[in-house]
Amino acid sequence: MGVTMANLESNATELFGSFVLGDDEFALPASTIREVVNFPDKISALPLAPPFLEGMFTLRGSVIPVVNLGRIFQPDAPRAEKSHKIAILDFQHVQVGILFHATGEVLRVRPDQRTTLSYASGSTQGVIAGTILLDDGERLIQVLNPAALISIENVPQVLALQSTCQKQQRHNFRTQAARRRCVSFRAGPAAFAFEMGGIQEIISVPEIHNSMLNSKLCLGRINFRGSPIGVVDFAQLLTENGAARDTAEHTDAERRIIVIRMDDATVGFMVDTVDNIIHFADDEVMPIPLLSKVRTDMFSGCISRPEVGDVILLDHQKILSRSEITDMRKGHANLYPDEAKPKDGAAAVKRQSGRQVYITFALDAAYAVEIRQVREIIDFSDAITCPPGMPDYMRGVLNLRQQMVTVIDMRSLYGMPALVAAPAPKILVVERGADCYGLVVDAIDSIMTIDDSKRFAAPSLMRNPNAEHSLANEMREVIDINDSPDGVRKTLRIFDCDRLLQSLDALRPAQAA
């Protein structure tokens, strides 16, 4: 790379903001500095990111990737610390946080105090654009190149990002677009989500059969409803160098396999935990600049909320390439030719029958609720307010994104004892007209697609005629699954949200005329 020095010929005085990094001083044009902020309380890891990307955080509706400038020059430089500052660079509608040790001052620089670096034609543009000499040459400040800083590694679809920003500037209010749903999960240090439409099922981890014919991405295969499918460790997929990751943080009971349909292929992704169902609108998805060049198409954006943190939304169709899917399917077809053949006869008839998607959850026993009856799932919150005079079964009210949710303690409602030393419960958010309810349950287990033929009327022995108000008495139907993906026969009581809300209406005291 050829580099030449040239003095500026412009007569205009320029403004720069200076920053300190170790023993060096750097500067950015003042017009490109949006603001300087303290190191955020929470910074989320960026998957597949190069070493100099510390992570990302959200700032007033924008996702800000944080660049550790020291690691650009020296890859093994120290990581960020809480005492560091972040300068928000705003250039060409892309915002990037530049990590510094301390802020400097605002400089008014004459042309004779500046020099620029001129890079040879065709060479990579460096992050240093030139220098500023002050105090009779005793003080040297390196000028950073904003254009290089926003494109060090990769800015996916920069033109689309610019278009998005321009549209958001024209529409500075929350649109009433159709809302969508996604399922959030954790894999490694970050939180991700798949849109609901891309998920076939979410299951507990069954026995995984290893094979020497597996591809490098594939852990093995599982028997999923009579067919072999490949299983990919999602967190391992997100390690660029393929290094082994620490799996001690999560137990096998917490891990789940998210079964995704990718065109004509079915693939399972093993994740550490499945967290919530998130209800969101298009304008809540913020674009993510500055990701690695690896698998950038799979990142659709970021959803950021206080109750869920930063969640990276994924495009399930673009996680694996066609060649990777083909290799995975070919290995299983060669090893298990009988299982890979499509079933015929009675099995084909069964596949043509109606199917429903259910969320399974725990409340002493195992229950299932049709997913269409639930708007979203959230973590139990300490922000619930309990007004005086409410019944025991009402935990209080929760402000969920400017909508008041009445929180119902299901255990108290049905006379169940409180759990001792239980993990944090979940809240099923149910919306009926203008009313919104949050139903507190012990835990969310999985999301399953089940044939209507598996749904039966509940036996009368499951009901307790002596109980005046019993959850079991309201369960009119059950699901019997003898071919569940984990190989365990299950009987799930079907929970009907509408029946529950009718019961709550009956419990309300009559209003005086």
pLDDT tens, position by position, for the chain (513 residues)? 444 444 444 567 899 999 999 889 999 999 999 999 999 988 888 777 788 888 889 988 888 889 998 888 888 888 889 899 999 999 887 888 999 999 889 999 998 899 888 766 554 557 899 999 998 888 999 999 998 888 766 544 444 444 555 555 444 444 445 688 999 999 888 899 999 989 999 998 888 887 655 566 788 888 887 788 889 989 888 775 444 455 556 677 789 999 998 877 889 999 999 999 999 988 888 888 755 667 778 888 899 988 888 999 999 988 887 777 777 666 555 555 555 454 454 444 444 458 889 999 998 888 999 999 999 999 988 889 988 888 888 999 999 988 899 999 999 888 888 887 667 789 999 988 888 999 999 999 889 888 888 888 887 666 665 555 667 667 788 898 876 666 667 888 899 888 888 888 777 665 444
CA 366 → CA 297, 383, 490, 500, distances in Å?
38, 28, 9, 17
Q: How far is 153 from 96, CA to CA, in rounded Å?
A: 12
Taking the C-alpha atoms of residue 65 and residue 56, their distance in angstroms, rounded to an integer, is 4
Residue 93 and residue 186 share a domain? no
Q: Which residues of 19-45 are buried (b: 16+ CB within 10 A; e: fewer)?
A: bebeeebbbbbeebbbeeeebbeebbb
Domain boundary among 119, 153, 187: 153
Tell me: do 90 and 139 sit in the same domain. yes
Q: What angle do CA 314, 356, 279 make, to 5 degrees?
A: 40
Asked whether residue 145 is assigned to any structural domain, the reply reads yes
For residues 332 and 360, state if they share a domain: no
Rg (CA), the chain: 28
- Which of 341, 373, 395 is a domain's end point? 341
Q: Are residues 145 and 264 in the same domain?
A: no
Q: Are residues 98 and 202 in the same domain?
A: no
In a domain, 170, yes or no: no
Domain presence at residue 25 = yes
Of the residues 306, 341, 376, the one at which a domain ends: 341
**Amino acid identity for residue 212 in this structure:** M
Model-level pTM? 0.77
Residue 71 in contact with residue 100, Cβ under 8 Å? no
Query: Which of 90, 88, 107, 89 is closest to 18 using CA atoms?
Result: 107
Whether 396 and 390 have beta carbons less than 8 Å apart is answered as yes
**What is the number of domains present in the chain?**
3
What are the φ and ψ backbone dihedral angles of 108, each rounded to 5 degrees? -105, 110
* CATH number of residue 467's parent domain: 2.40.50.180
Find how far residue 389's CA is from the centre of its chain. 39
Residues in contact with 61: Cβ distance below 8 Å, sequence separation at least 6, in sequence order:
286
Same domain, yes or no: 378 and 467 = yes
- Map tokens 């008014």 to a residue: 108
Does one domain contain both 253 and 371? no
My answer on whether 102 and 43 are in the same domain is yes
